[in-house]
Amino acid sequence: MNIVLLGAPGAGKGTQAQKLVEEFGFDHISTGDLLRAAVKAGTELGKEAKGYMDAGKLVPDSVVIGLVKERLGMPEAAAGFILDGFPRNTSQAESLDAELAGMGVSLDAALLVSVEPEVIVERLSSRRTCRTCGYTGTAADETCPRDGGEMYQRDDDEPETIKQRLDVYEESTAPLVGYYRDKGLLREVDGDRSQDEVYADVKTLLGL
């Protein structure tokens, strides 16, 4: 099964993706991870991406799609994949469809993890991160349960910053939801519940 994962920052997409990977062995393809790995490895696409990143510019769709296409051609993706972080808008979705069609591959579902904005602000603003190991916890964690390190609030998790990120997401991704709905691929799940409750519905919606 081939899935595109949609949802605002803090909706819990990553958690659901990990559960699907663990149970069904899908290849979890995060475009952020692909970019970092390509830059680190110094591949042609990685060098091109680094030039844009160093200049503080967005990496062009053509580079990101090139990385995704490379990954989809690997054996790990043959049993099914979850695309996380891409596409981010309808233009990218159309380019992705064209590339997949050229490979003889199609999407089976676009899974939207839906959570109200105020819930996301509350979730993320209470999030704390360990300075030493990167563990993510909550404001209740005064020290890291892993290594005793200091827990701090990332700038990204300040309420005002979260609201700005949600505005950007809403502007670019709302049309994307309509795009996949029109294709009959959209599957929407209420993410404002326990992880296990959400996951049970995810499996039902995907027919797993």
Is the confidence at residue 174, as pLDDT, over 90? no
Based on DSSP, count helices (H) and strands (E) in the chain, helices before strands: 8, 8
- pLDDT category at 176 given cuts 50, 70, 90 is very high
Q: Is 193 annotated as a binding residue?
A: yes
* Residue entry with tokens 């049970």: 200
Is the confidence at residue 164, as pLDDT, over 90? no
- pTM here? 0.79
Instruction: Kindly list the catalytic residues.
Output: 13, 88, 127, 154, 165
Assign domain 2-26+80-115+173-206 to its CATH superfamily. Answer: P-loop containing nucleotide triphosphate hydrolases (3.40.50.300)
Domain ranges (residues) in the chain: 2-26+80-115+173-206
Q: Are the C-beta atoms of residues 157 and 138 closer than 8 Å to each other?
A: no
Q: Is 98 annotated as a binding residue?
A: no
The string of pLDDT tens digits covering residues 21-52 is: 999 999 999 888 899 899 999 999 999 999 98
Token code pair at residue 47: 């060098």
**How many CA atoms are closer than 13 Å to the CA of 191, on its beta-carbon side?**
26
Q: Is 112 annotated as a binding residue?
A: no
Q: Are the C-beta atoms of residues 96 and 65 closer than 8 Å to each other?
A: yes
**Using omega within 30 degrees of 0 as the cis cutoff, is the peptide bond preceding 9 cis?**
no
